[in-house]
């Protein structure tokens, strides 16, 4: 699973894209988006309910005469100075956005008087534990809290806790520095001397959304993704206990010092080999991890402050990035060669640190973050001062862990100091002390003789017999791919309290579900060759199809009411020249199988979802406007019965009535104008529809579902179309085109040009692809299609399971095969932002297909539903071989 779909900016996108380096305080849209790391944190917080790992702590012991009024004034000033500290997060149509509070909102200070307590320190420790574990409500806020405990007249403990979504580790220094100046100014009754902030965090989020798009995202992705591709998600370290089903963030650490002679030798080794001291330490750490795990290729994470732009140096906010460094120890290299490889891996991560690692992991399968991380601090921050007070930092939250091992190193004076942080759920302290010893030995061996071979370096690993290393180890096979339990566990870390899975008639937690559902064996379904055309029959008539004349009977045409077979000249030329003619002709040519198909009339959009003719309220946040029954071409698999069986009597006529309904339902935040294909209508008609829609304040996007880019791209030559999209933008809403490219062969050069041109004007693009037998039921073809969409700025959005439509059921693919194809796409998209979901659109709502479990059940999740409480709910049904649709699966 991926992050919740986020509609980026529209007008601001184009503006910030032109300001490549400079971050400016530009006019903001009505909905300020989250930055990429914020989006990740927001999503995970909603899934797992938050944890200690999501919090940033500042603990200060204050000894001396404290002016509490000045402290309160300083805290209020801190929140006024930094917008992000008064930011909460709202949701529209499942999309989070930043909601910035007023500058005078202040920061309430909890106060405890422990001066009369018999054991004040014990009570203080209990209060600190409570604050460490208490969560935040991202929507209600505030996302910063402060507590002042008074132990004596001249002894206070100040604890400030922030959610990571509004802060990071370097922000602590900024907070203390600003707090010190604001406190001093409040005591003196004077104005503070802090420099004006040129931008706020919201400006940075807007800039990042614009900057990390298109070619910039592709450039940075091209560096990041090879770091992850093919590397197993789990580094098999010798743990003392098995990994818990739910991640436990409780931890501890072992501190150590590399004595001065060894530190000096490592600096000299770095200088001789043209590397930094960080790279040398990285190589030593990689050597230890390789020897412990038996792997000759691994990924080590490293964090950077990511404050490379002067405009944001003084901002509190979530900026820190985790980079992935892939270290190759194959071929039994010398330590000197290992240094060279580590040096080659490190620079690119620093050059391309704008792309968050959390974003990069969404581009590979399975998504994972590094098991181990190495951080290096060149210049540890100097202690700030509060006037009249002796300030002591208190290590709050130091024992909260997010990784299997986190190695923190810094240079203090002439020596290198370190701390190896570990989860107590996995390791005993004695084991981690041995790891520290191995690191010291590895670094000593590197300094002594860098010509030694990696896999022959002598340091004690005898006690880990099952991790014994051969002189030339073979590559370990990657663990078998899994699907359901990754989606429900490692990838999303769901809290069993927040997501309920329905198994038969029982409700199961995630943990129970993961036990019940293991990854199924690889699914194999032979490719079905396209059928040959039937021979002419008696009493036939001639019809012109895409590949030429064909004879069919009039009775056959009447029986299925398939009267539309027109194909545009541009589409015929496009697929003829694309090299994919044999597959693509089946999209548009009526075949004899259609006449014999037992399919039914599609009602997946209608039933009780139609409010007025031409308007459906099928999903809580989305209104569907059916504005035409015409298309640029009539695809044979079309999802609507009006295009395969009869003219529609459901076309929208009364837009005033529809507009009023939407006004009365503020949960509707977007409309999808569809049909048919709305872009077969004149731009003037579309403008009249917008007259009724644009004044509605709670609509944030207008979407057009169209296939004209594939069939009739010249439609976009209309000079009035850009003005229509600009009108939507000026109304404060996003203009979105939902394309329907089902095959890479449909994306013509002209279509690509039109997409790029419209994106430059702020129009956003999503793509929905229908999975079709004989056309694109091949993961290689679909991966290439999604890759091309991503390249030109269209987000792969949905892979739709073809519906059982009358006369077109032969296009359906079994759910078993569809799951195999979805997995195959993911495996091939190592360089693409993978945002698509495998979806069935049912009258109950959009249903995401997750996996076929080893228990013989198909697991699904409600993706969109008219009942918001159903969204995200996981359910399953017994699998029936050959089933292609939810209704094909038996209940129970």
Q: Looking at the whole model, is its pTM more than 0.75?
A: no
Question: What is the C-alpha separation between 264 and 353, in angstroms, rounded?
Answer: 30
Q: Cα angle vertex 118, ends 115, 121, to 5°?
A: 70
Q: Cα angle vertex 120, ends 115, 122, to 5°?
A: 170
Average pLDDT over residues 688-705: 95
Burial of 382 (0-12, 13-18, 19+ CB in 10 A): exposed
Q: What is the DSSP letter of 116?
A: T
Question: What is the C-alpha separation between 396 and 398, in angstroms, rounded?
Answer: 5
pLDDT of the residue at 267:
93
pLDDT of the residue at 734:
93
Helix axes 68-81, 169-188, angle to 10 degrees: 130
pLDDT of the residue at 564:
45
- 756 membership: H or E segment, kind and range: helix 749-760
CB 462 within 8 Å of CB 441: no
* Residue entry with tokens 């891996």: 345
Tokens of 105: 């909102």
452-488, pLDDT tens digit by residue? 888 877 765 433 323 333 333 333 333 223 333 333 3
Average pLDDT over residues 787-799: 86
The set of residues, in sequence order, having a beta carbon less than 8 Å from that of 69 and lying 6+ positions away, is 186
Question: What is the C-alpha separation between 593 and 809, in angstroms, rounded?
Answer: 9
* Phi, psi for 443 (deg, rounded to 5): -65, -35
Tokens of 742: 């089902």
108-130, pLDDT tens digit by residue? 999 999 998 888 888 888 888 88
Q: In what order do the strands lie in the sheet with 155-163?
A: 109-113, 144-152, 155-163, 55-64, 389-394
Average pLDDT over residues 750-775: 92
**Separation in Å, CA 449 to CA 441, 453, 457, 651:** 12, 10, 10, 80
The set of residues, in sequence order, having a beta carbon less than 8 Å from that of 546 and lying 6+ positions away, is 567, 572, 575, 585, 588, 589
- 343 membership: H or E segment, kind and range: helix 335-351
Dihedral in degrees, nearest 10, Cα atoms 719, 724, 726, 730: 150
pLDDT of the residue at 790:
85
pLDDT of the residue at 457:
79
- Find, among 244, 274, 814, 235, the residue nearest to 479 by Cα: 235
- Find, among 183, 588, 553, the residue nearest to 389 by Cα: 183
296-305, pLDDT tens digit by residue? 888 888 887 7
Please provide the size of the chain in residues. Answer: 892
- What is the average pLDDT score of the chain? 77
pLDDT of the residue at 270:
93
- Find, among 105, 97, 115, 112, the residue nearest to 165 by Cα: 97
| 3-state SS class at 32 | strand
140-178, pLDDT tens digit by residue? 989 999 999 999 999 999 999 999 999 998 898 899 999
CB 572 within 8 Å of CB 745: no
Above 80 in pLDDT, residue 769? yes
* Phi, psi for 845 (deg, rounded to 5): 135, 180
**Separation in Å, CA 493 to CA 44, 45, 151, 479:** 7, 9, 40, 20
pLDDT exceeding 90 applies to what percent of the chain?
Answer: 36
- Find, among 746, 624, 634, 744, the residue nearest to 680 by Cα: 634
CB 814 within 8 Å of CB 525: yes
216-256, pLDDT tens digit by residue? 555 555 555 555 555 555 677 888 888 776 667 778 888 88
Specify which of 46-50, 527-531, 536-540, 698-702 reaches the highest per-range mean pLDDT: 698-702
Helix axes 683-693, 720-730, angle to 10 degrees: 10
String of DSSP letters for 369-425? --SEEEEEESSPPPPP--TTEEEEEE--STTB--SSEEEEEEEETTEEEEEEEEETT
**Separation in Å, CA 277 to CA 266, 411, 423:** 7, 10, 27
Burial of 524 (0-12, 13-18, 19+ CB in 10 A): exposed
**Separation in Å, CA 827 to CA 2, 522, 822:** 15, 13, 9
Tokens of 452: 């030694």
Of residues 306 and 705, more confidently modeled: 705
564-580, pLDDT tens digit by residue? 445 677 777 778 777 88
CB 650 within 8 Å of CB 785: no
Question: What is the C-alpha separation between 153 and 650, in angstroms, rounded?
Answer: 77
**Sign of the CA dihedral running 627, 629, 635, 640:** positive
Above 60 in pLDDT, residue 548? no
Return the number of other C-beta atoms located less than 10 Å from residue 686's C-beta: 18
| 3-state SS class at 565 | coil
């Amino acid at each position: 699973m991926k992050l919740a779909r986020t509609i980026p900016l529209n007008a601001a996108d184009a503006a910030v894209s032109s300001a490549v380096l400079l971050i400016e305080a530009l006019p903001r849209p009505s909905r300020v988006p989250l930055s990429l790391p914020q989006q990740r944190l927001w999503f995970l917080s909603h899934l797992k309910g938050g944890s200690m790992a999501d919090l940033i702590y500042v603990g200060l012991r204050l000894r001396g005469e404290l002016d509490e009024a000045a402290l309160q004034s300083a805290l209020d000033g801190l929140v006024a100075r930094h917008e992000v500290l008064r930011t909460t997060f709202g949701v529209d149509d499942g999309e989070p956005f930043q909601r910035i509070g007023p500058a005078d909102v202040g920061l309430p200070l909890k106060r405890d008087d422990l001066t009369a307590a018999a054991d004040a320190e014990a009570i203080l420790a209990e209060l600190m534990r409570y604050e460490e574990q208490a969560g935040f409500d991202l929507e209600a806020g505030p996302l910063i809290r402060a507590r002042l405990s008074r132990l004596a007249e001249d002894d206070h403990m100040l604890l400030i806790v922030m959610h990571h979504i509004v802060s990071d580790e370097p922000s602590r220094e900024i907070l203390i520095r600003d707090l010190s100046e604001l406190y001093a100014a409040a005591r003196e009754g004077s104005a503070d001397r802090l420099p004006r902030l040129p931008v706020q965090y919201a400006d940075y989020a807007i800039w990042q959304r614009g900057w990390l798009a298109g070619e910039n995202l592709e450039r940075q992705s091209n560096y990041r993704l090879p770091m992850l591709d093919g590397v197993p998600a789990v580094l098999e370290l010798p743990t003392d206990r098995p990994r818990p089903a739910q991640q436990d963030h409780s931890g501890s650490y072992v501190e150590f010092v590399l004595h001065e002679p060894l530190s000096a030798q490592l600096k000299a080794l770095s200088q001789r080999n043209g590397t930094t001291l960080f790279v040398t330490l990285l190589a030593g750490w990689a050597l230890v991890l390789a020897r412990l795990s038996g792997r000759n290729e691994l990924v080590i994470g490293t964090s950077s402050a990511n404050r490379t732009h002067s405009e944001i140096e003084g901002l509190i906010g979530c900026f820190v990035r985790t980079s992935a460094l892939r270290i190759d120890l194959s071929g039994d290299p010398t330590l000197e060669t290992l240094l060279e490889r580590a040096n080659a891996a490190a620079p690119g991560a620093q050059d391309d640190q704008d792309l968050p690692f959390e974003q990069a992991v969404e581009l590979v399968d399975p998504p994972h973050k590094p098991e181990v991380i190495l951080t290096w601090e060149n210049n540890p921050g100097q202690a700030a001062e509060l006037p009249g007070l002796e300030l002591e930092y208190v290590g709050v939250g130091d024992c909260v862990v997010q990784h299997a091992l986190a190695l923190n190193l810094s240079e203090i004076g002439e020596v290198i100091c370190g701390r190896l942080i570990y989860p107590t759920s996995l390791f005993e302290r004695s084991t981690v002390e041995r790891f520290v010893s191995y690191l010291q030995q590895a670094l000593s061996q590197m300094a002594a003789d860098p010509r030694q071979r990696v896999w022959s370096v002598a340091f004690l690993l005898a006690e880990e017999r099952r991790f014994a290393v051969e002189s030339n180890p073979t590559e370990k096979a990657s663990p078998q791919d899994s699907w359901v339990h990754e989606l429900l566990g490692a990838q999303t870390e769901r809290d069993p309290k927040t997501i309920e899975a329905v198994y038969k008639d029982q409700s199961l937690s995630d943990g129970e579900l993961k036990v019940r559902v293991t990854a199924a064996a690889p699914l194999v379904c032979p490719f079905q060759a396209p059928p040959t055309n039937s021979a002419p029959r008696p009493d036939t008539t001639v019809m012109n199809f895409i590949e030429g004349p064909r004879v069919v009977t009039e009775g056959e045409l009447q029986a299925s009411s398939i009267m539309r077979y027109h194909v545009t000249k541009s589409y015929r030329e496009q697929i003829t020249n694309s090299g994919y003619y044999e597959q693509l002709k089946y999209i548009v040519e009526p075949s004899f199988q259609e006449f014999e198909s037992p399919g039914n009339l599609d009602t997946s959009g209608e039933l009780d979802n139609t409010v007025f003719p031409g308007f459906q309220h099928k999903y809580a946040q989305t209104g569907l406007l059916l504005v035409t029954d015409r298309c640029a071409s009539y695809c044979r698999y079309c999802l609507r019965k009006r295009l395969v069986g009869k003219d529609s009597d459901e076309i929208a006529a009364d837009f005033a009535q529809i507009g009023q309904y939407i006004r009365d339902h503020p949960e509707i935040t977007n409309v999808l104008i569809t049909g048919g294909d709305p872009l077969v209508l004149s731009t003037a008609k579309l403008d009249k529809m917008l007259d009724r829609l644009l004044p509605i304040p709670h609509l944030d996007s207008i979407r057009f579902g169209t296939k004209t880019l594939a069939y009739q791209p010249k439609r976009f030559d209309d000079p009035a179309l850009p003005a229509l999209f600009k009108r939507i933008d000026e109304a404060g809403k996003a203009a979105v085109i939902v394309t329907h490219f089902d095959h890479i062969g449909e994306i013509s050069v002209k279509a690509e040009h039109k997409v790029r041109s419209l994106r430059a004007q702020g129009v956003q693009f999503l793509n929905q692809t229908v999975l079709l037998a004989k056309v694109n039921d091949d993961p290689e073809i679909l991966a290439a299609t999604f890759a091309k969409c991503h390249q030109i700025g269209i987000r792969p959005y949905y892979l739709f399971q073809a519906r059982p439509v009358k006369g077109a059921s032969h296009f359906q693919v079994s759910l078993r095969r569809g799951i195999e194809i979805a997995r195959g796409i993911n495996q091939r998209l190592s360089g693409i932002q993978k945002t698509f979901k495998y979806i069935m659109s049912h009258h109950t709502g959009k249903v995401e297909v997750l996996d076929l479990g080893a228990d013989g059940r198909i697991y699904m999740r409600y993706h969109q539903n008219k009942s918001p409480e159903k969204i995200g709910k996981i359910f399953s049904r017994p699998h029936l071989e050959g089933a292609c649709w939810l209704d094909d699966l038996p209940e129970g």
